[in-house]
Amino acid sequence: MFDESHHLQLQGGLKDMAIELPEVAVEKLMAFLSMMLKWNRVYNLSAIRDPKQMVILHLLDSLAVLPFLHGERCIDVGTGAGLPGVPLAIARLDMQFGLLDSNSKKTRFIQQACIELGLDNVKPLHERVEEYQPEEKFDTVTARAFTSMPELLTKTRHLLNDGGKLLAMKAKETDALEHEGFEFESVESLLVPELEATRNLVIYRAV
């Protein structure tokens, strides 16, 4: 289970990333991991079960996207157990987040997590990304390990306002692609403390 060392690990990682969060947010992030660990026994939400690795791969990795969020509304596609969506929503209570996944067990977990953590700015969405038609479009789409870059561009354009941003977390697939409805913007290298893998953020703008 999680103890003070994991709390300190998270605080140290946030400091290294130059992310300042109030203590209440740090406590909610740790409470979210505790819930994941508990539900994992039944629901198989994530293959990662080591508490130290969970802090790195579920929290710090998710929060690396924080400085790039755009506008007031974000949708996290293929969110799984709510990554990076829930950590981002805890850090940005001023933004609205839709967390979309086709797996009902995972969206049920997100719903319960939001109730227990008091997150009013999150809406779990049990849908396939290409079939979901939002009443109001989004300013940012986030995606982590969801699908290939060409498919991601094809499946998410209808979710975004013009000028909205697609933020794709990728180890590879960083080449600029030509795609209708999108303009390639940049590739940013993400710093995730203690992570031994490459993390890039590939950014496209909806046109």
Residues forming beta bridges with residue 179, ordered by sequence position: 182
**Both structure tokens of 137:** 């479009």
Is the separation of the CB atoms in 165 and 70 below 8 Å?
Answer: yes
Q: What is the pLDDT of residue 2?
A: 84
In order along its 207 residues, the chain shows pLDDT tens digits of: 888 999 999 999 999 999 999 999 999 999 999 999 999 888 878 888 899 999 999 999 999 999 999 999 999 999 999 999 999 999 999 999 999 999 999 999 999 999 999 999 999 999 999 999 999 999 999 999 889 999 999 999 999 999 999 999 998 889 999 999 999 999 999 989 999 888 999 999 999
Q: Is the pTM of this model over 0.85?
A: yes
Give kind and range of the element (H or E) at residue 36.
helix 23-43
**Both structure tokens of 129:** 């990304």
Helix, strand and coil content of the chain, in percent to the nearest 5, comes to: 40, 25, 35
**Which letter does DSSP use for residue 179 in this model?**
B
Q: What is the pLDDT of residue 101?
A: 97
**Both structure tokens of 160:** 């975004």
Superfamily grouping for domain 4-206: Vaccinia Virus protein VP39 (3.40.50.150)
Q: What is the pLDDT of residue 102?
A: 96
